Amino acid sequence: MAERICADMGWDFGATFRYQFRLSRHRWQPHETWQANRIGDWHLAHCPDLPCHDVILSDGTKAGLVLGTAVDALGQMLNGEARISEGASLQHVQAYIEGLAGRFIAILHLNAENRVYFDPTAGLSAVYSRQDRALASSVHMLLDRDIIPEPAVGADAVLKREAQFLLGETCDAECRRVMANHFLDLNTFELGRHWPKPDERFDQGGRDRAAVARQIADRLSQILGALASGASVALPLSAGTDSRILLAAATPHLSRIDSFYTHDIYRVTRFDRQGAQLLADLTGVSLQVIDRAAPEFTDFMNDEDLEDLRSRMAVRTGLAFNGIDAATTRAVSLTPGTDLVLRGNVAHMTRANKWTLQSARHGASVEDGLAALLNVRAEHLSDRLEPARLKSLRARYAAWAESLPEGVRTRLPDLAHAEVFMPTAPNNVYYAFTRNFYLNPFNDRHLINLTAWFHPLARKKGRLVMKIIGHANPALNGVPYLRDLKRAARGAMAAG
């Protein structure tokens, strides 16, 4: 289907589907530059800009490959090989994969097992179809037939941001989106949970908060250092929390980060620009501003090309995202020309973004967790959704929650953010942006585990963020945040 659309629209396939892939039983060469790999009886076709690393067991046997960008548990960026030194069993390989950070998939053929594993939040998001016996980066990449519309929610409404695909839904009724921390069994095309482990607990006592924050800062710094050493990277800055955490952890590696930038495209983003400049001045880095008022913001792309790009974005993401508006589409097309753009979406957990103060104090129910995915309060769910859809989503969310080990169910909103929200929303949206490969350095199971251990109420009050930054670069804790800059602006206006 992807080839047919490109032919009909006059689009170059390689440029349109950069960073995408497809896995099936049949060899497929959609573009002369695309690479092909065979893993057992399965054929992988992928964009050449996705790095490929052979999985080598301790006995020298090749057991599959890792596709994408990954940093191992020792802080080494994969460079053509993923060597399993501890053993040659599936359990050894799985443990190794669980220790990887980054944005990747791992395809394994070991004895009778044929599995695909995903990074901690399915950053290299994927869809699969039992009917079509294929896995791919997007619906149009997977299908060799017309789309069967998903009856529960329409793609038009999703593109207009009036609805959203949830809990595995895509624009096609037969294609399901993967959930993070599950593997796809290629023999059955069923998802199976592999993390958290059955005996895992996120609410155990006996840990020192400052020590946990230090471990988070150190591991995040290790990952950032590996990425900055192995690729050209850009770090966007704002007046928010997530980019500040990344900047603080990147302090020892600032000279190796190729670009720091910010957007100034809406009224509210002037505060982000102000905060980003304060951070840049404090750390001594040069800040590039993508400014809507600059002539090049509109001159580099005419309106016809802009609409064409938005159409491509929709197809790249399975009719889930088309750039939002002209300003956003232009802005993401002007990012610095680095290999990687580092994002902070996974670090949202450090401030308990999917928790309300009430749920953080008293615990989160299924109703609270579902409401968090929709960014509403539980009491407003019936206003947001039709009764039949609410009933269906409530049942599916409850079934997902039941799949979690009992010891981690006290952190439902955190795990739903990682496993359900991230693969469907931001990680799928990243396919729309083909200028750079977007990656979350916080996308690491050790970091997620440590963050989830920290009580959500303490996170909600900013204590974990303060401790992480305080360990990595304490001076950054003194820079005002977005809310502070807005408050100061209102005060200045009131004072005349």
Q: Does the domain at residues 2-193 carry the CATH identifier 3.40.50.10420? A: no
Q: Is 172 exposed, middle or buried (0-12, 13-18, 19+ CB in 10 A)?
A: buried
C-alpha to C-alpha distance for 78 and 397, rounded to whole angstroms: 35
CB 442 within 8 A of CB 346: yes
Helix (H) or strand (E) holding 127, with range, is strand 127-129
Residue 442: exposure state from Cβ atoms within 10 A (0-12, 13-18, ≥19): buried
Dump pLDDT digits (tens) for 33-80: 999 999 999 999 999 999 999 999 989 999 999 999 999 999 999 999
Please give the structure tokens belonging to residue 199: 């005996």
Dist. CA 465–CA 460, nearest whole Å: 9
Residues 102, 137: contact at Cβ < 8 Å? no
For residue 293, count other CB atoms closer than 10 A to its CB: 9
Residues 6+ apart with CB under 8 A from 302: none
Tell me if 317 sits within 8 A of 127, measured CB to CB. Answer: no
Measure CA 456 to chain center: 21
Residue 193: DSSP 8-state: E
Query: What does the pLDDT profile of the chain (496 residues) look like in tens digits?
Result: 899 999 999 999 999 999 999 999 999 988 889 999 999 999 999 999 999 999 999 899 999 999 999 999 999 999 999 999 888 899 999 999 999 999 999 999 998 999 999 999 999 999 999 999 999 999 999 999 999 999 999 999 999 999 999 999 999 999 999 999 999 999 999 999 999 999 988 876 667 899 999 999 999 999 999 999 999 999 999 999 999 999 999 999 999 999 999 999 998 889 999 999 999 999 999 999 999 999 989 899 999 999 999 999 999 999 999 998 999 999 999 999 999 999 999 999 999 999 999 999 999 999 999 999 998 888 899 988 899 999 999 999 999 999 999 999 999 999 999 999 999 999 999 999 999 999 999 999 999 999 999 999 999 999 999 999 999 999 999 999 999 998 988 888 788 6
209-347+425-494 under CATH 3.40.50.620, yes or no: yes
Q: How far apart are CA 132 and CA 140, in angstroms?
A: 12
pTM of the model: 0.95
User: What angle do the packed helices 242-249 and 463-472 form, to 10 degrees?
Assistant: 30
Beta carbons of 48 and 31 less than 8 angstroms apart: no
Q: How far is CA 336 from the centre of its chain?
A: 20
Sheet holding 127-129, edge to edge: 35-39, 42-46, 21-24, 134-136, 127-129, 176-177
Place of tokens 């983003």: 269
Give the chain's end-to-end CA distance (angstroms, integer): 60
List residues bridging with 134 in a β-sheet: 24, 129
Element (H, E) at 261: strand 259-264
Helix (H) or strand (E) holding 62: strand 62-71
Domain boundaries, the chain: 2-193, 209-347+425-494
The SS3 call for residue 20 is coil
- Which residues, 6 or more positions from 281, have their beta carbon under 8 angstroms from its beta carbon? none
pLDDT in tens, 334-371: 999 999 999 999 999 999 999 999 999 999 999 999 99
Specify the pairing of strand 259-264 against strand 233-236. Answer: parallel
Do residues 143 and 132 make contact, with C-beta atoms less than 8 angstroms apart?
A: yes
Q: How far apart are alpha carbons 11 and 4 in whole angstroms?
A: 10
Q: How far is CA 66 from CA 37, 78, 243, in A?
A: 11, 9, 27
**Distance (Å, rounded) from C-alpha 482 to C-alpha 229?**
31
Q: Which two tokens stand for residue 68?
A: 């994408």
